[in-house]
Structure 1
């Protein structure tokens, strides 16, 4: 496993639509492990493959720090409700903005063995699903920000 470099806003790869994964090869498995390690190292709750320079429809999310979710070829099936709150992105460090997203999201995806499954999320998990799946279509949260981006103060440990 390895920590990969996170692409920063302005990198053209972040504006491209990602390709579907046809099969989970050893390289894809390595990518998923690297994405998880990179996300945890950066203290993120989600990471999409294009953020590490790979144009594949793969997302990793962990809103609790203990329960990683791997989504291959994810598709949003259903949304409801609304939530407005602060959002940030590992590809735009030090900034956050207010974004309105659905409060409930149901996603269909494939797991690491290419078995289909559905997963539901509310609040932060719903927000993470939408945010990361947007990355797979070449979109970033800044396109949806209401008002101005604000600077995030780094919390020293």
Structure 2
């Protein structure tokens, strides 16, 4: 079942997530909820803290439209600075050029706890960096100028108020 996406600025998005240590049913349920939330929002990746859960796991979209989960990921290497257009499910309808790296090497676990290493470049490297940033407690807007960040912050605060009002109206 899909869960609501947390909108920035929210404390859970700016707090590093906790490592996954239980690779059982709880993790499977969390990954299923994350996947449903990502698909409903038409995203190409999602981190657990984007649905309010402080666990170090994420879904990452490949260029062919398939997805895979990364658990307890670490970036081992990065090279080739590049600036790419970026957006985020937690910062809806906001897209800005963001500094990243063209190539990354990542170590991560799968849902069974097995370790893997992956070398990626281009869009996949971009999505991996974005999702791992989330797990480290960072949102892409932190890579932007103070002016751009403050303009986006005002829009997100207005969106949060509007969403809160809608929830209150549904309760009545």
TM-score (ref. length: structure 2): 0.82
- Cα offset for 1:132? 0.7
- Three-state SS of the structure 1 residue aligned to 2:92 is coil
- Bigger radius of gyration among the two: 2
| More helix as a share of residues | 2
Question: Is 1:148 aligned to 2:164, yes or no?
Answer: no
Gaps of 5+ in 2: 153-172
- Three-state SS of the structure 2 residue aligned to 1:148 is helix
Matched residues in 2 for 1:89 and 1:127: separation?
12
Q: How many residues align?
A: 150
Task: Give yes or no for contact 1:45–1:65 (8 Å, CA) kept in 2.
Answer: no
Matched residues in 2 for 1:64 and 1:94: separation?
21
Moved over 4 A (4+): none
Task: Give yes or no for contact 1:47–1:59 (8 Å, CA) kept in 2.
Answer: yes
Matched residues in 1 for 2:84 and 2:63: separation?
18
Matched residues in 2 for 1:90 and 1:138: separation?
15
Query: After superposition, where does 1:80-95 map in structure 2 within 5 Å?
Result: 80-95=79-94
- Cα offset for 1:66? 3.3
Matched residues in 2 for 1:120 and 1:35: separation?
24
Matched residues in 2 for 1:144 and 1:15: separation?
13
1:47 alignment counterpart = 46
- Cα offset for 1:121? 1.2
- Cα offset for 1:64? 3.2
- Cα offset for 1:65? 5.8
Matched residues in 1 for 2:125 and 2:64: separation?
16
TM-score (ref. length: structure 1): 0.89
Deviation larger for 103-112 or 61-70: 61-70
- Cα offset for 1:62? 1.1
Task: Give yes or no for contact 2:104–2:120 (8 Å, CA) kept in 1.
Answer: yes
Query: After superposition, where does 1:60-139 map in structure 2 within 5 Å?
Result: 60-64=59-63, 66-139=65-138
Task: Give yes or no for contact 2:86–2:96 (8 Å, CA) kept in 1.
Answer: yes
1:155 alignment counterpart = none
Gaps of 5+ in 1: 152-157
- Three-state SS of the structure 1 residue aligned to 2:30 is helix
